[in-house]
Structure 1
Amino acid sequence: MEGLWTIFGPILTVVLALMTKNVIISLFFGVCYFSVGLFGLDFLNHIVDFFVAGFSGNGFVIVILMPLGVLLAFMRAGGGFKAFAGWANRKVSSRKQVGVMVFALATVLALAQDLVANLATGRILRPVIVEKKLAPEKAAFISLSAAPNIGAPIPYGTYFLFCVGMVSMLVPGVAPIPFFLKSVALSFHTWLAVLIGLLVALEIIPDLGYMKECQKRAETAIDPMETDGGGDALGGANVKPDFGAFFLPVIALVAGVAVTSLAAGELTLVPGAFIGAFVAVVYAIARGAVKPGEASNLVIGGIMEQAPIIMLLAFAFAFGAALQMAGLDQFIVSAMSGTLPPALVPAIVFLVGCAVSYTTGSLGSGLVIMLAIATGAPLILSFAATFSGAQWGDQLSPLSDMVIENAGANSIDPVELYKVALPYRLIEGGISLALFLILGFLL
């Protein structure tokens, strides 16, 4: 049922999110819009279908949040956060150094798995971020710029797995992994976003737009812990620092992901997350930091801390499923395929990828690679432009799971992260567009 009507759903959803600053209501509106378009007056009976479809492809992300919440709760109760914060406060003397620490941790975790980096960087460093008065919005932007992009060429990364599968489906006759890796090398957004994130962390690039307001608010807070939602980010006055409670669960998580993935012959994240959580629970109880009778309540509390981001992601995945059922990507491809000069294809697919991915909050706009195939443009450059544009929108849209994950990890609203990121994304997007336009004519 693809048609012109599918374009207005994402646009209206984004506009509503920016006006109301309520992403859940906006996503639910988008789901209802497509349900009405597909099923008419019977749309209410089919809304659950979108959630089921969204969970079927992305349910592991929701599941992994629960053991991750338990891991972080016991890490905090066991003194891991307090030990790390104490060390960081001794080693880190400025807000700039905290920004660099956010970038470094996001990078290290992304080398293990970018999803883990998105979900954990802000939560692990939260005490230091608050103590040194780095705006949580700025921390979220830095981790968002680093983690998914550094993780892009990693063989078990989210982008890698998705795009290699897409290449094998849409570009027959090529080896998908070498093709994607060559394309990533020409994906200008990927590397410009990393560079800008680092330069923002180093304060070489100044705070722009809404970032300036957020940073000023963080600096002038009377009590730094007020920005932490009223809770004690370190675990409480009675908690004793313990580096083991910090490092052992993280090591167990990474090792668990590696071992279970090798055993399964494919990337598996959920078992590793449960292993990390189990080690955190056992260590905290064995060290006496948590009494056995208190463990069950702490497990429930850790899961409940993840409830806001779980709910946001559930609606985001349902919205993505609705887009696929409505056939938005197929409509764009069929409407534009075969109508473009080959030299302009890289620049145009970059812009189309930006627009579609931004309004949908999904990397699925990569299907516009079909434009390049239809017009005979250079495939690797065109796919790089498609991937860059899709990443650009995916890392800016308040509807995107990437934005929601990094915003949730830093306890801010996805719309706030969008507002902070906008001027920087416009800068690197403009540079990327110029480079794709130049190379399109040269090649």
Structure 2
Amino acid sequence: MTDYGFWSLIPPLLAIGLAIKTKQVVFSLSLGIFVGYLIIQGGNVFEGFLSTITAFVDVFQSKGNTRTIILTLIIGAMIQLIKYSGGINGFINWVQRRLSGQKNFKGKIQATSALTGFLIFVESNISILTVGTIFRPLFDKHKIPREKLAYLADSSSAPSCVLFPLNAWGAYVMGLLLAFPSLDPFKTLVYSIPFNFYAILTLIFVFWLAFSGKEFGEMKKFAERKQTLPEEKLAIDEKTSSPMNMVIPIAVMVLTMPIFLIYGGWDSTLEGGFSDRVWHSISNGSGSEAVLNACFTGFIVASVMYFFQKMLTIKTFIDESFKGMNDMVVMAVLMVLAFAIGNLCNELGTGIYVSRVTSSWLIPEVAPALIFIISSFIAFATGTSWGTFAIMISIGVPLSFAVDANIYLVIAAVLGGGVFGDHCSPISDTTLIASVASGCDHIDHVRTQLPYALFTGGLSIVFYLIAGFIF
């Protein structure tokens, strides 16, 4: 593999800088990808152009990427069917009835949205899409900025996903830990959870901000501006039905995900008891496959429910499904670009270069804090927490053995740092999805979320420094 050194940082930093400057995310990502392949092709513009086109096609060579993009379209179709059935309006009305007249009404609406994102811990994209779509009308009606909704959706999803092992995130991390025979993947992941300071602190901060109504930084400006706008009315031209028309399909999707994960990795020839086989199947199952299967199951359950309620015909089922998918096309394009620049950074060795330059600083006591910082920067520059996990677990685990650092602290620092950097990065797929699902400008979402993420990220560094000397 060619060592591109410092040049490996140019494409992602260019894409991030341009996105912030121009607010044109598609253009910024595309140009960053082109510049990257221009570097790889030694400055040959024609070859760089051809390689860029090939990079977009190569995104679909990964089954995981393809499943995620299809998942986005299916989620769009399912949400549209739920909306058409009146389930979303039913849920909104139920929330309003439950909270109406109570003190701190706005705070409880925000807390309910954060709680919804927290409970849908099967996959971050599903969580963000659901929260953004469902709660946007309520936030608009009660003059709560959409940027706040994007923050609550984004910052309640990945932290909850990374704290629960029975989902796609857990399966992925355990799969990475299988490379180290001396470690029990499930035990290592579970024991690292109490040390995942960023995820824990972020969730605490999210719910505090929601309940208290406190704002600072750019978010405060958007909140003040929103108060000057006239109150918006909820849409009344759509059907209203039981909130169960929304709750049941989403609950089915959440609950069947671990089942599909276990089924996909099940090995009947494996020796040991039932529980041993279950944990083995979880670590060996495909997270992206399980999530897609669960999503299809929820979609089918929703469709069957609405057919039996005589809300759907075959024609309306097809029309509404494609309408929902069409709403997700922009998001799917952004995901292709995000995956492409992630693949580019992998080819350039961006993460490996950063970790190589900084790994020489590590000593046992400060290793967790430095690993957290390194993981954060890699995730920020590459826009992917999962890619960061792959890079830093392969480096951090051997390093922790070599310098005798606490392995659970190191694993938690990698996971927390990956999520932190991902939250701060304008080229992250989850950050993109949060802004689109919530209906706010993407760069405005980044600008308003960044101070909050930096606050909990800074606290996490302090906690890792303290824990490094204690454990």
Q: Scaled by the length of structure 1, what TM-score is found?
A: 0.90
* 1:96 is aligned to 2:107: yes
Amino acid in structure 2 at the alignment position of 1:195: I
Alpha-carbon offset, residue 244 of structure 1: 4.3
Distance 2:76 2:458 in 1: 38
Deviations along 1:197-247, one digit per CA (max 9) or x if unpaired, are 11111126x21111112222333322525xxxxxxx75x526243434323
Distance 1:380 1:120, change over 3 A: same
Deviations along 1:315-359, one digit per CA (max 9) or x if unpaired, are 101110111111112223333444533333222222222222112
Of 183, 196, 213 in structure 2, the residue corresponding to residue 174 of structure 1 is 183
Name the residue aligned to 1:211. 219
Alpha-carbon contact 1:118-1:405 (below 8 Å) kept: yes
Name the residue aligned to 2:70. 63
Of 315, 334, 348 in structure 2, the residue corresponding to residue 312 of structure 1 is 334
Of 122, 129, 132 in structure 1, the residue corresponding to residue 139 of structure 2 is 129
Of 393, 397, 401 in structure 1, the residue corresponding to residue 429 of structure 2 is 401
Q: How does 1:4-403 map to 2 (within 5 A)?
A: 4-40=6-42, 41=44, 42-55=47-60, 56=62, 57-93=64-100, 94-110=105-121, 112-169=122-179, 171-203=180-212, 206-224=214-232, 234=235, 236-237=236-237, 239-265=239-265, 266=285, 267=287, 268-363=290-385, 364-366=387-389, 367-369=391-393, 370=395, 372-373=399-400, 374-403=402-431
Alpha-carbon contact 1:75-1:246 (below 8 Å) kept: yes
Alpha-carbon contact 1:392-1:425 (below 8 Å) kept: yes
Alpha-carbon contact 2:117-2:157 (below 8 Å) kept: yes
361-370 or 16-25: bigger deviation? 361-370
Distance 2:14 2:139 in 1: 35
Amino acid in structure 2 at the alignment position of 1:403: T
323-332 or 283-292: bigger deviation? 283-292
Amino acid in structure 2 at the alignment position of 1:179: T
Alpha-carbon offset, residue 15 of structure 1: 0.9
Distance 1:167 1:15 in 2: 34
Distance 1:281 1:221, change over 3 A: farther
Deviations along 1:258-282, one digit per CA (max 9) or x if unpaired, are 5544443334122222232233334
Alpha-carbon contact 2:67-2:292 (below 8 Å) kept: yes
Amino acid in structure 2 at the alignment position of 1:176: P
Distance 2:59 2:172 in 1: 15
Alpha-carbon offset, residue 53 of structure 1: 3.9
Distance 1:416 1:263, change over 3 A: same
Structure 1 residues not aligned, in runs of 5+: 226-232
Alpha-carbon contact 1:338-1:375 (below 8 Å) kept: no
Q: How many residues align?
A: 432
Alpha-carbon offset, residue 392 of structure 1: 0.7
Amino acid in structure 2 at the alignment position of 1:87: W
Deviations along 1:112-168, one digit per CA (max 9) or x if unpaired, are 444421221121222322222222211221222222112213223343233223333
Distance 1:203 1:137 in 2: 17
Alpha-carbon contact 1:218-1:224 (below 8 Å) kept: no
Distance 1:102 1:437, change over 3 A: same
Structure 2 residues not aligned, in runs of 5+: 266-284
Alpha-carbon offset, residue 434 of structure 1: 1.5
Q: CA RMSD in A?
A: 2.3
Distance 1:249 1:187, change over 3 A: closer
Distance 1:299 1:365, change over 3 A: closer
Alpha-carbon offset, residue 172 of structure 1: 4.4
Q: Scaled by the length of structure 2, what TM-score is found?
A: 0.85
